[in-house]
Structure 1
């Protein structure tokens, strides 16, 4: 029941812009988290959207924070508003407006930014407009942590991502028989990954207090890793053995539930030529020899056999096919950029919008247009200023055995899913925090240092997040991934695990990090281990880093100007 009825309009405006803020979290923050999985082809766009939607929403509703700081007590002195709670209500509304408007612009421009830092910038602007610069906590316990995060998060995540990838690269992928090595090492990777992700959920995702002592937490972490490793041995390894070692092309994805019974399956008939065994994770990404041969063919100059090895005379696709098959890959045809897969949606039927056929077409257009986008294709064929010479960048990276890469696609799905769960459990409540303050003051007229976050607001913002992810998440995804460096499952898994390790450590050490900055730093760290420094698109990295730097001031200026204009505006009857 509302207490401050005279401010119903402020509450209504807060709801609208909180929805826009949550929409942008889905379109920006969640999208950049799944860009790695989609870019490496471990998940299709639709699979990523479904997993992210479920895990984010469940994380927010199940173990999400039920109590949030009055965003943020670390940024402004909330006690200054004890006698004027309605001013804080207005201020938090302005903070949400500034944050959501900035995020909308950043998402449109393809800038992956931290939504937590955006709302913090909005609160800083409100604090300066109402209390002055001295009313903002600029020290290490406040805003200084955000500036430190710009260097801390990417650097640490890049180091951990590089370490994981180098172990994988030289311990598995570069050794003789990489498929066997990947198969044997899979249970260890599953144990390590599951244990680390259990830490992520216990320490970061579960914001509510978990009543476990140190021994209980250690047992939970080790036990989770052991159980997941055992499940991989019982169910995943028999499935992979049949698919990779027995070339069982008739095997369906749901057959993994049979576990050890799969070993009793009869040998399959010969595989038809037009049936691929696994996804070609390097489709569209040429090696140096393939790229030189293609350019020589386009220029009408025969390729140098001493440099490129034996080449077929004819279309470049023949060269690529032979080279691809030698790496356990399906033939790859190169030429024109692929058509936008959103063309899978049929043309608009004739008739008014309320005609059932037209209404159904409109529904498909709205719901599925975003997930039908060919994100990987647009990354590979981009010719913009930020993605010049992307083919040369990809050609400098090593290409590993495609079947060995297949093993890491399962690990990447595990890391992406669990990180999404932790993100929904932790970051949603941070974004809802200002709106929760608005709701508390509007409904009770009181001001507390701790603001309870009602479940309906988590559900409301979680739903808006899912809508943002489905409708516009592709725009951020296609700006990341292969536009920064070449992606594959082994690389993507290393990036996501390096990011998760950083978040776990930072949570325990109370260091301020952003998942956006962690995954970007891990991507750069792994990319540097791909080959030389030119395997990284430094233009795109600078573009992303610039977006981080301007987040606080831009959101702060927007919210501060709105707040300053409102509280200093002339009033009817009191104007001069």
Structure 2
């Protein structure tokens, strides 16, 4: 085996581990924060679903230069692609480990983009970077949390007014809980088609996946509420219903995350694999199944060994969460990401989830939010790309001098 291929495989696994520790933890953080499941249960569920998403639904073709950040025509030397991929992976991994240590939820996509920009600038200067794409990345820092917060605020207010603020919460819960839960699964079914199966037609996703799943879940929820809703204590009954559903919505986020973000770890590995085995440097590279499995395993191990830090920050430290609040966050984040994917808008899932958590806090008043934690998180978002770029630039320069 080519030694650089082996090195890149190891770095790809390390990056996947770091993704699991930081990004994948977001999927279960609200469920843990709302005490729907224990951290240990979250680790098992997230690990299994992240691996499943990565292995069975991960893209069979991965872009070698992530999302067109660099001009591929400018990279003609295979060694540049190999050294650059290794530098980007190592830089992103280092930054993710630092962020995770302090419990800061950052975007793994932005981390690997920063790594790619860093080595690109060292190699060919500023002109190699697609600054239009980079503007979209910066825009996502602002769009994602704001839209996530607004959506969560509105959904939570609607949920509160339709159930908890009514004179007869029991009657309102019987009517409205199935509606909200069914609506959430319309979004989840459609998201599965768009994000996991990589479908393109939103109408097909809604008609053949979203609506059938939503109606089925509506009917099941309606029957369960009729059979098991505790009349004596309706508020606890509502939270009990949403507790079970929240585990499912969080599980969906984990599955979709594994399917999509595994590319951040294995994309550079696939590029180096192609160069080492076939001498290819094209934009699109077939990804062998074993590389997908490597990424999925790394993510699962990362969740299991280090994911608790970010789970604690997102689930407990920003604002106090209940099951209905956690459900609202999952529903809002899934809806925003779905609409953004359809419109082609640059949205970060991590930033959207955190924004939704903040939105829930705002719905209860500004005092319900831990402002110090929020400020730390926002600062970490803005330094992700430049820090990863700087680390990658240094590593790439050293590799080019030594190599």
TM-score clears 0.5: yes
Poorly superposed stretches of 4+, deviation over 6 Å: none
In the superposition, relative to structure 1, how do residues 467 and 179 fare at CA in structure 2: closer, same or farther (>3 Å)? Answer: farther
CA distance in 2, matches of 1:191, 1:26: 29
- For the pair shown, the structure with the greater C-alpha radius of gyration is 1
Q: State the match for 1:114 in structure 2.
A: 107
> Is residue 2:337 matched to residue 1:503?
yes
In 1, distance between residues paired with 2:325 and 2:205?
33
**Equivalent position of 1:206 in the other structure:** 197
Whether contact under 8 Å (1:23, 1:465) holds in the other structure is yes
- Aligned residue number for residue 75 of structure 1: 69
Instruction: Kindly provide the CA deviation profile for residues 278-333 of structure 1, in whole angstroms up to 9, marking residues without a partner as x.
Output: xxxxxxxxxxxxxxxxxxxxxxxxxxxxxxxxxxxxxxxxxxxxxxxxxx5xxxxx
Q: Separation in 1 of the partners of 2:66 and 2:204?
A: 33
1:42 corresponds in structure 2 to 36
The aligned counterpart of 1:225 is 214
Cα RMSD (Å) of the superposition? 1.9
Q: How many residues are aligned here? A: 403
Q: Which residue of 1 aligns with 2:382?
A: 549
Cα displacement (A) at 1:239: 5.2
- Residues 537, 88 of structure 1: CA spacing in aligned structure 2 closer, same or farther, 3 A cutoff? same
Report whether the alignment pairs 1:528 with 2:373: no
- Residue among 261, 284, 289 paired with 1:455: 289
Q: Does 1:123 align with 2:116?
A: yes
Where in structure 1 are there 5+ consecutive unaligned residues? 3-7, 248-327, 329-399, 572-576
Instruction: Sort the Cα spacing of 1:183 and 1:47 in 2 relative to 1 into closer, same or farther, 3 A.
Output: farther
| Structure 1 residues 535 and 460: alpha-carbon distance in aligned structure 2, compared to 1, 3 A threshold | same
- Between the aligned partners of 2:341 and 2:202, the Cα distance in structure 1 is 17
2:142 pairs with 1:151: yes
What residue is the counterpart of 2:95 in the other structure? 102
| Structure 1 residue 216, shift from structure 2 partner | 6.7
Name the structure 1 match of 2:154: 163
Structure 2 residue aligned with 1:62: 56
Q: Does 1:539 align with 2:339?
A: no
The yes-or-no answer on 1:14 pairing with 2:8 is: yes
Aligned residue number for residue 31 of structure 1? 25
What residue in structure 2 maps to residue 475 of structure 1? 309
Q: Offset at 1:509?
A: 0.8
Q: Distance in 2 between matches of 1:122 and 1:552?
A: 7
Kindly provide the CA deviation profile for residues 432-470 of structure 1, in whole angstroms up to 9, marking residues without a partner as x. 111111111111111111122221111111111111111
Matched, 1:174 2:155: no
Deviations, residues 47-93 of structure 1 (Å, cap 9, x unaligned): 222221222111112222111111325111112223x1222111111
TM-score by length of 1: 0.67
1:143: how far off? 0.8
From 247, 257, 261, the equivalent of 1:413 is: 247
In proportion to residue count, which structure has more helix?
A: 2
Q: Deviations over 1:326-346 (max 9, x none)?
A: xx5xxxxxxxxxxxxxxxxxx
Shift of 1:181: 2.4
In 1, the alpha carbon distance for the partners of 2:36 and 2:53 equals 22
In 1: Cα distance, 2:75 partner to 2:345 partner? 28
Stretches of structure 2 that go unaligned for 5 or more consecutive residues are: none
Find the aligned partners of 1:426 and 1:72 in 2 and give their Cα distance.
13
The Cα shift of 1:160 comes to: 0.8
Which whole-Å deviations, capped at 9, do the CAs of 1:483-538 have from their partners, x for residues lacking one?
111110111111111111110011011111111100110111111111x2111111
Q: 2:228 aligns with which of 235, 240, 262?
A: 240
- State the alpha-carbon separation in 2 of the partners of residues 152 and 495 from structure 1: 16
Rounded to whole Å, the distance in 1 between the matches of 2:27 and 2:280 is 37
Residues in 1 aligned to 2:139 and 2:156: alpha-carbon distance in whole angstroms: 26
Aligned-partner Cα distance in 2 for 1:73–1:491 = 34
SS of equivalent to 1:68? strand
Answer whether contact 1:38 1:44 (CA < 8 A) is retained.
yes
| Deviation, structure 1 residue 404 | 2.4
Residues 499 and 519 in structure 1, CA contact (< 8 A), matched pair in contact too: yes
CA distance in 2, matches of 1:233, 1:220: 20
1:423 equivalent to 2:257? Answer yes
CA separation in 2, counterparts of 1:16 and 1:204? 27
CA-to-aligned-CA distance 1:344-378 (integer Å, 9 cap, x gap): xxxxxxxxxxxxxxxxxxxxxxxxxxxxxxxxxxx
Cα distance per residue 1:114-147 (max 9 Å; x no partner): 11110110000010111111111112xx111110
C-alpha separation in 2, matches of 1:206 and 1:121: 28
Name the SS of the counterpart of 2:313 in structure 1. Answer: coil
- In structure 1, C-alpha distance between the alignment counterparts of 2:130 and 2:286, rounded to whole Å: 23
Give the Cα separation in 1 of the matches to 2:211 and 2:24: 28
TM-score of the superposed pair, with normalisation by structure 2: 0.95
CA–CA separation in structure 2 for the residues paired with 1:190 and 1:148 = 31
Structure 1's 479 and 220: CA in aligned 2 closer, same or farther, altered over 3 A? Answer: closer
